[in-house]
Structure 1
Amino acid sequence: MDWNAPWLTSVRHLGQQAHARVQEGASVANALQATAKAHGLLPGWRFVDQQQLAPGMAYEAFIHAQRCIPTRDNLHDFFNGLIWLHWPQLKQQLNHLQATEIARQGVGAQRGRLRDAITVLDENGGLLLAPQVLCDALREKRWQDLFVQDRALWAQAQFLPIGHALLEKLVQPRKAITAHVICWPLEQMHSQALPRSHDEADAWLSTLIQGASCNLASKPYLPIPILGIPGWCHENQNFSFYDDSLVFRAPRTVQAT
């Protein structure tokens, strides 16, 4: 695992500590729990072995009822634990929404709109705070504007990964890896200051999701090929990187009927 990778910057400090404990022989659950305890994180919550998940009980319902996070010894659950440590308010809120929907509808062949949207954020999502110009270009899939013409504006942007499956995929980076982001223009933050820490970003996004301005059930996400972010891979310094139409796809056209 390359802890110097730019997508791990926001989780590097705790991630390296938990990773070191795993390398010393601890289970992923114990490594995450020890890291949480050392920093006073997630009080009242525990990472536990996957075997503690009762047979037939839904994963999210178990977490909500027991305040325990079943964890396997693999990268997927390692990164899930890191996200819990960095986005505790958001993860608890998403878990509450999932558990409420499970209690209301049960667990069927399909998750339903809200649970499906939560899963997209939880597995593959991120938060992008950026100038309006970049948000508009991303929404309209104007890749040359987003990554080339307005490249200098990325110095003002901040991307924070949320999806643990996204981080798992980035262990072996591929050009086609795409994140689904909540993109929020800096200009719309008004009097609010740009989050200066992960704790502030966690609180800010949790508040946003609670309000009507962010309707999760509508999947308010924008897809972004993650290695296109300036500085995130050496190859994108050559602007022909963005000419690959299989990755940087044109917007869909609506055919007249």
Structure 2
Amino acid sequence: MSALTEADDARQVFARIDWRQPWLAPLAERGARWQTAALAGYAPYLAALNADARSKALPTGRGEPLSFIAQDDLPPDASYEAHIAATGCVPTRHNLHDFFNASMWFQYPRIKATLNALQAAQIEALGIGPTRGGVRDALTLFDENAVLFACADRALADALLGFDWPTLFLSKRDAWSERCEARVFGHALLEKLLSPYKACTGHAWIVEVPPAYFSFDDEQRRSLLDERVARMLLSPSPTSRDFAPLPVLGVPGWWPANESPAFYADAAVFRPGRRNRR
């Protein structure tokens, strides 16, 4: 594929972003600027990311200042997470996957730095092998596919953990935005949601928040979640059992079809529970 064709393909991909979608709206202010830069080309895109990084002075996993480099600048013998922790430089391709990954460094810098530190420590302890191991698998799952489920009502968290979709989405529907909400963190999940489909499922990470959380503005909510989840990830080490599946288009207000109770009757998507989680 020629460089010109690759650039054309990249422009078509970035042009698909619709900031009106509720899962993208929290990213829109910065994201729209980055989108314009990405449509102009790879170099303007990296320049926009690095201008924001310099203005924020955010640390990566071991305190190095955050910056973004072209994927080809990652040394051939370096592992991705270890390189970020050691240098602060995030290898970034001109694609949506890495676009949303970069976005999360600004939305939730403490969470991203904690994930990076934990991944780098696992790599140092165990090396790079054919499998990641349980802790690295859970960290990667969080990074790629997590949905932060902020909740001030234990009954709602229990409904999510218990696959009790009628309670979570129907009888307690009015609780959404008043006692619970969902925020997509995983950058791979955000990429999938550029072409939404009913079975698209995130891995929900339940975060207890005070009732006052729902009177906070967006920045205050993100700051609280960022600090709280970063601490949660440190002790104990996360496992795959710490997540609960959440069909994201079932979130009230996120998809027009879910206004009908019949939407949730699809057992292939809204599956009955198998077990409880943490």
* TM-score (norm. length: structure 1): 0.90
Amino acid at match of 1:136: D
Aligned-partner Cα distance in 2 for 1:31–1:75: 15
1:192-223 Cα distance to aligned partner (Å, 9 max, x none)? 956733233212211222344xx413541111
Aligned-partner Cα distance in 1 for 2:145–2:207: 17
Structure 2 match to 1:184: 207
Q: 1:243 to 1:201 in 2, by over 3 A?
A: same
SS of aligned partner of 1:199: helix
Q: Alignment RMSD, CA only? A: 2.1
1:54-113 Cα distance to aligned partner (Å, 9 max, x none)? 112211111111110000011000000001111111111111111111111111111011
Gaps of 5+ in 1: none
Aligned-partner Cα distance in 2 for 1:95–1:184: 20
Structure 2 match to 1:224: 246
Where do 1:55-204 residues align within 5 Å?
55-130=76-151, 131-156=153-178, 157-186=180-209, 189=210, 196-204=220-228
SS of aligned partner of 2:101: helix
SS of aligned partner of 1:34: helix
Structure 2 match to 1:31: 48
Amino acid at match of 1:113: G
Aligned-partner Cα distance in 2 for 1:244–1:200: 35
Aligned-partner Cα distance in 1 for 2:120–2:240: 19
Amino acid at match of 2:50: Q
Q: Does residue 237 of the first structure (1) align with residue 259 of the second (2)?
A: yes
Instruction: After the TM superposition, list the runs of 4 or more consecutive aligned residues in structure 1 that deviate by more than 4 angstroms.
Output: 192-195
Q: Please state how far the C-alpha of 1:34 moved relative to its aligned partner.
A: 2.5
Asked if 2 retains the 8 angstrom alpha-carbon contact of 1:127 and 1:162, the reply is yes
Structure 1 match to 2:13: none
Aligned-partner Cα distance in 2 for 1:167–1:225: 13
Q: Please state how far the C-alpha of 1:26 moved relative to its aligned partner.
A: 4.4
SS of aligned partner of 2:23: helix
Structure 1 match to 2:38: 22
Asked if 1 retains the 8 angstrom alpha-carbon contact of 2:42 and 2:94, the reply is no
SS of aligned partner of 1:7: coil
Q: Please state how far the C-alpha of 1:32 moved relative to its aligned partner.
A: 1.7
Amino acid at match of 1:180: H
Structure 2 match to 1:11: 27
Structure 2 match to 1:49: 70
The sequence identity of aligned pairs, in percent, is 38
